[in-house]
Each structure stands twice: as structure tokens, then as C-alpha cells.
Amino acid sequence: MTLPPRITDSHCHLDFPDFEGDLNDIITRAQAAGVHRMVTICTRLSQEKNVRTIAESYSSVFYAAGTHPMNADKEPMVTSSELILLSAHEKFVGIGETGLDYHYTAESANLQKKSLRLHIEAAQATKLPLIIHSRSADQDMTNILQSEFKNAPFSCVMHCFSSSPELGKVALDLGFYLSMSGIATFPKSHELREIFTYAPLDRVLVETDAPYLAPPPFRGKRNEPAYSAFTAQVGADIFEMSLTDFASQTEANFERLFWKAI
């Protein structure tokens, strides 16, 4: 029997209620699909302990923590020292997710920008990758990333990238990574797939953002880490590679960026 290629789901949310009582089966299905490693993301620092416990319970799961921009006005303002302290945990591998979301929560833009800068400060101090969520905020995101990088370099992944080609170019020019989610597999996502064709192959990751954004043939259903294999197949098609070769490249990319998760 031919084993599936090894893939890492670089961004999922295993602590969300959608997975309650089902984690053992979720992990088993992921491993059967070749998804041997996952990064589960904390979006509210008040829930960090729960996310950490999941990572501690499964050898294949690592975690990152931060305040999601849509939670910036619902959680106490994060401090860089708090994030730096959390980063000492052996399975803590990234800062975030953080970022800007003006699509749903433009009213908290100032809080989001302050929070983002504090997360960047922690990434600069720890040398761990920053995990960015960006929606309908391209200009402010560009300004902050460029100005903060000029102050002190940091590494970063634009998670679930689905923004403009211009923001994609800014990120790539700074040496950042673009992560491909199930959105890239949707039939109408021609422009997004085109953006990825211009990305250096050594700066691409795959993810699910589970429980959201399930790729076909599961679109509209609960997403889970095993389904990142479907996104990886689309990525292989975009780059005109075999799935095995694309998976191998994204594994190398992941380990270069998320250096603690090896």
C-alpha cells in the first residue's frame, strides 16, 4: 500500500466547540491522510490554557497563541511580555494569530493596530513566526508590516491568504510566507490561485483554518486537518508538480519558518 505524502496543517483551531469530544478521531483521520503535524491556534489568550492542553495531549500537535483582531475589543489588551513568557513552552511555536479585520470589526481598528504592534514586538523578541490574519485592511497592514520590519526584522506567515496581489507582493518582498487554505480550492478563486503562481515555491504553506473553509468535496461542512491534503493537491496543480513533490516542499518551508515544531 502506498502511503500518502506527509503534510502539515499549519493553522487550525482544535479547541473550538466544533471538535468537542471528537479530537481523538480527528487526529487519527489526519494521520491516515498523511497530515502528521498540526498547529492549533489560540485566538483569545483567556483560552490559552485549553489550547496548550491539546498540544500537550497529542505528540503531533503544536500551538500558537495571540488575540485575533476580531477579539481585540473583547479581550484585555495583550502585552508583548505576556506572549514572550508563553513562548517558553516547548510546544509553543508561533505568535498569533493577530492582524487586522475591517470587514466585520472596523469599529475596533485602533485597538487592532495596537494589538498587532504588540504581537510584532513579541515576534521580534522571540524570533518565532508571526501569524497574520488580514481582511479588508490592506493599506494599514502594509504600513504596519513595512514600518515594523524596518525597526527590527521578524518572520511571518500571511495565514489563509486571500487578500490583494499588492499585499501579497509586500509580504513576499519582506521574506514572509503565504499560506494556502481551502479558499484556494473553490471554483471561483481563479484570482487567488493566480497570486500563488507568482509566489516563490519555498514561501508557500498549506492549512485548513479548520473548522472553517472546507475544500471540495466537503465544502459547507466542518473542516478538519485531514482535508489539508485536498488543498495540497490544488497547490500541486497550481505549481504543476506532483503532490509528493509539493508536499515535500511545503514540509521544508514549514520547518524553516516554524523551527520549534521539528
Domains recognised in the chain with CATH numbers: 7-261 (3.20.20.140)
How far, in Å, CA of 5 to CA of 215, rounded? 18
Q: What cell numbers appear for 9 in the block?
A: 496543517
Instruction: Give the global pTM.
Output: 0.97
- Listed in sequence order, the residues at least 6 apart from 152 whose beta carbon sits closer than 8 Å to its beta carbon are 124
Sheet containing 61-65, strands listed edge to edge, beginning at the edge strand earlier in sequence: 7-12, 35-42, 61-65, 92-101, 130-135, 156-158, 177-180, 204-206
pLDDT number for residue 172: 98
173-220 pLDDT, tens digit each: 999 999 999 999 999 999 999 999 999 999 999 999 999 999 999 999
236-251 pLDDT, tens digit each: 999 999 999 999 999 9
How does residue 119 score in pLDDT terms, banded at 50, 70 and 90?
very high
Mean pLDDT within 77-85: 98
pLDDT of residue 2 exceeding 90, the answer is no
